Amino acid sequence: MLFNSYIFIFCFLPICIVGYFLLNKTGNYRLGHGFLLGMSLWFYGYFNPSYLLIIVSSIIINYLIYKWMKTLQHKTLLEAATENPELDILPVSSVGRLKSSKPVMIFGVIVNLGIIFYFKYMDFFIENVNAIAKTDWPLMHIMLPLGISFFTFQQISFIVDTYRGEVPDYGFLTYACYVTFFPQLIAGPIVTHDELIPQLRDSNKKKINWDNMAKGFYMFAMGLGKKVLLADVFGVAVSWGFEDVPSLKATNAILVLLAYCFQLYFDFSGYCDMAIGLGQMLNIDLPVNFDSPYKSLTITEFWNRWHMTLSRFFTRYVYIPLGGNRKGNVRTYFNLFIVFLLSGFWHGAAWTFVLWSVLNGIFVIITRMFRKQFEGMHPALGWMITQGFFNLTLVFFRANTISDAIEFIKQILYVDFTNIDVHILYAFQTPALKYFLDGTPVTHSLPFIYVGLYYFLALFIVLGSRNSHELMAAFKPNLKNMLWTAVLIVASVMSLSGISTFLYFNF
């Protein structure tokens, strides 16, 4: 199910909010958890019920692994207490790292990675084996379940944290709610157990909080507006441009590239806003996952602001275990490269994603090697280098093949400037703008004014305004914010005729 759909806004969300708080009002919070689990599974399996078998199986397998590890840890704790009766308690952190649970932890991680590999990378693996070994293995054409990378990484973090002795005893219902919590289920943020489960169990969060409800609708409206009124509009031009790369020429190639930069930004930022807003409606605080990355002055700062919970995952469970920055510069650069390489594979089973991530990883390493020089740059120059580099590498992120990406860049480098193509002109002639501007002398003689207005508005929002979590921190439930929320929701709902998925659903 999509946040930007009629059934979600007018059916799913009201039922979820009313049912959840009514059941919690009985004082039996297990009913509320069961209802939330059922709604989350409905949300996940709406497009394809067969997805439910995958996620339910994954939850059961990981919970059994978790209980297996806890049993071993408790057994070891009991043996230690018997052998050392003078000790009142053995530190939980030491129990988690005992060798008895390490093989189980490794087994759990391998199982989860195996699930991702089968559904996401099997055909990619077969294609490359066929290309290298000149074999003719048939592709399996496995359907990629929505959000499998997100909920699997979330469970990997849970398994590793259990081994580290950082996870208390949780019941199955609580764990299942943690994994399937619908606002963050299929596109993040990747939430750790200590961020979400204590909130799900907090009795103070079981009643409607009208301030949180107002804040939640405000954030949801902001995200919905970003997705429907901005990202989807830019997406029309992007889809045309990347399907017909050889005919672009420099003018249209640059406009399409910038359109994709804005589409990706507002699409992902919009989803993050809506997820946080939905969490607020249910009195759940989700972590910030997007922090105005296009304001960054260095590529390192950029990646600290973009998909923040994914960066946190790789830092905690890959970069630091590899040694982090504790074993010299060469080892640090190697660790950074591995993180970016894995990030590329995480985003998709294609060499375009890998090349995109490798290029960004190399630039991060160069920035670290010449830190003094980059820090000594004028901020404007640093911003232009950072954003110019990232935007150009996005060609590989979006293109269907590496050859298409190279051809796209060639179109820019040829510096063959022409008129704006009619496909781009039409993409930005939205009903709202045409209602106010169509037929005026300006738009009649200068039809590209529609394009200019959208690009200017997007640039202003990206660079000249406060981001969503800053607005949420200063939010007050007053008439002004109520009207702005209503306007955004109404305008977005009226534009839902062309419902589109979020870009990160594909990852």
Q: What pLDDT score does 430 carry?
A: 77
CA distance 313 to 303: 13
What span, in angstroms and rounded, lies between the C-alpha atoms of 119 and 145? Answer: 7
| Residue 141 Rama label (left phi>0; alpha psi -120 to 50; beta) | left
Q: Is the pTM of this model over 0.75?
A: yes
Show contacts of 191-194: CB within 8 Å, 24+ apart. Answer: 191/154, 191/286, 191/287, 191/309, 192/154, 192/157, 192/158, 192/161, 193/157, 193/158, 193/161, 193/167, 194/161, 194/166
C-alpha closest to that of 149 among 503, 506, 500: 506
Q: Tell me what pLDDT residue 348 has.
A: 86
Residue type, 174: T
Selected catalytic residue, list 193, 347, 378, 444: 347
* pLDDT in 10s for each residue of the chain, 507 residues: 888 888 999 999 999 999 999 999 998 999 999 999 999 999 999 988 988 999 999 999 999 999 999 988 888 777 766 766 665 555 555 544 556 788 999 999 999 999 999 999 998 899 899 989 888 888 888 888 888 999 999 999 999 999 998 999 999 999 999 999 999 998 879 999 999 999 999 999 999 999 999 999 999 999 999 999 999 999 999 999 999 888 888 999 999 999 999 999 999 999 999 999 999 999 999 999 999 999 999 999 999 999 999 999 999 999 999 998 888 899 999 999 999 999 999 988 899 999 999 999 999 999 999 999 988 899 999 999 999 999 999 999 999 999 999 999 999 988 888 888 888 888 888 776 766 666 565 555 566 788 888 999 999 999 988 888 888 888 888 999 899 999 999 988 888 766 677 777 766
347 is catalytic: yes
CA dist., res. 74 & res. 251, Å (int): 66
Q: What's the number of CA atoms in the CB half-sphere (13 Å) around residue 89?
A: 3
The whole-angstrom separation of Cα 348 and Cα 397 is: 9
Helix H or strand E segment including 463: helix 449-464
Closest to 163 in 3D by CA, of 109, 219, 235: 109
* Predicted local confidence at residue 110, as pLDDT: 95
- Cα→Cα distances 32→12, 258, 268, 319, 505, Å: 16, 45, 30, 38, 27
Q: What is the pLDDT of residue 81?
A: 66
**What per-residue confidence (pLDDT) applies to 315?**
94
Would you state the pLDDT for residue 498?
A: 64
pLDDT score, position 175 = 96
Give the pLDDT confidence score for residue 95 in this predicted structure: 47
Q: Rounded to the nearest 10 degrees, what angle do helices 329-347 and 351-369 cross at?
A: 150
Dist. CA 108–CA 119, nearest whole Å = 17
pLDDT at 441: 58
Mapping DSSP to helix (H, G, I), strand (E, B) and coil, where does residue 323 land? coil
Alpha-carbon distance of 327 to 316, in angstroms, equals 16
